[in-house]
Amino acid sequence: MTVPHIALVTGAGRGIGAAVAAELARVGATVVLAARSLDECERTAQALRSGGSRALAVTLDVGDPASIAAALARVREAVGAPDWLVNNAGIAVSAPLCPKDGSADELYERHMAVNFHGARRIAEALLPAMRVARYGRIVNIASSAGLRGYRYVAAYCASKHALMGWARAAALELDGSGVQVASVCPHYVDSPMTDASVRKIAAKTGRSESEARTLLAAENPSGKLVEPAQIARVVRELLESACNGAEVELDGGAPRYHPTQR
């Protein structure tokens, strides 16, 4: 009998993370859903459990090292050491370059703490056991903003470029260890994060929310928002395969697999 994988999905209460959690539960993994809002994770976990899956909700603030340590201790005690990690939790706050109100440092520090250091710290905490087991998969939900720039989100772009840089270095260093790291880079996704951007654009420009959504979709090369379910399928395929160094760009059309760095 094969032992089911134990998957930790951060930011799994809603949006992309919830879709990934559902996809991994569907293929029999024990899924840990982690985010700051325990009630959201618990609702999603409950829905998975009612479908017969094993799912646990835990409180986690990836921007806080003490919260990471406490959440991982709870996970290890409850279900064991995760061999699949999906670093999905993230924030995106828009602001012009050099805001005049002096908020830049806080903005950059917050994005780096959550989108980069959070993902890095959780991976570092799980890596020793993965290395001993000579098996582990880490998939980071980065962004097309980790591959190129976008206006008014320099802090977000910087944090996602940092995450991509870390994943590229980690993949080289882990080569041959059995532990593999891959990155998924979606363009605009149909998720609550994009809903918030739509509301902000509508409020700032006087456009309707529907017009604002169409504008964001038109920024994607496919002209369509990416579906969270498509991201979830790609994440599952990466976790189930030899994926070290893989980078998959999703723009609403067919996935684009970038050449793996060697």
Residue ranges in contact with ligand NAP by CB under 6 A: 10-11, 13-17, 35-37, 40, 60-63, 88-92, 114, 141, 143, 186, 188-189, 191-194
Please give the structure tokens belonging to residue 177: 């260890």
Q: Residues 45, 48, 53, 54: what is their CA dihedral angle, to the nearest 10 degrees?
A: 0
- Report CA Rg, the chain: 18
Q: Which is nearer to ligand NAP, 134 or 204 (by Cβ)?
A: 204
> CB of 248: closest distance to ligand NAP in angstroms?
12
Q: Which is nearer to ligand NAP, 90 or 136 (by Cβ)?
A: 90
Q: Which is nearer to ligand NAP, 11 or 82 (by Cβ)?
A: 11
Q: Can you say how many angstroms the Cα of residue 229 is from the centroid of all Cα atoms in its chain? A: 13
* Residue 71, H or E segment: helix 65-78
Q: Can you say how many angstroms the Cα of residue 42 is from the centroid of all Cα atoms in its chain? A: 18
Residue with tokens 């939790």: 89
- The answer to whether 108 is a known catalytic residue is no
Find the catalytic residue in 108, 135, 152, 156. Answer: 156
The residue type found at 119 is A
Q: Which is nearer to ligand NAP, 83 or 249 (by Cβ)?
A: 249
* Residue 140, H or E segment: strand 136-141
> CB of 105: closest distance to ligand NAP in angstroms?
18
> CB of 89: closest distance to ligand NAP in angstroms?
3
Number of H helices, E strands in the chain: 9, 8
Is-contact 9 53, C-beta < 8 A? Answer: no
Is-contact 57 33, C-beta < 8 A? Answer: yes
Q: Which is nearer to ligand NAP, 79 or 163 (by Cβ)?
A: 163
Is-contact 6 76, C-beta < 8 A? Answer: no
Cα 162 to Cα 36: distance, rounded to the nearest angstrom: 23
> CB of 132: closest distance to ligand NAP in angstroms?
27
> CB of 83: closest distance to ligand NAP in angstroms?
21
- Residues that are catalytic: 156
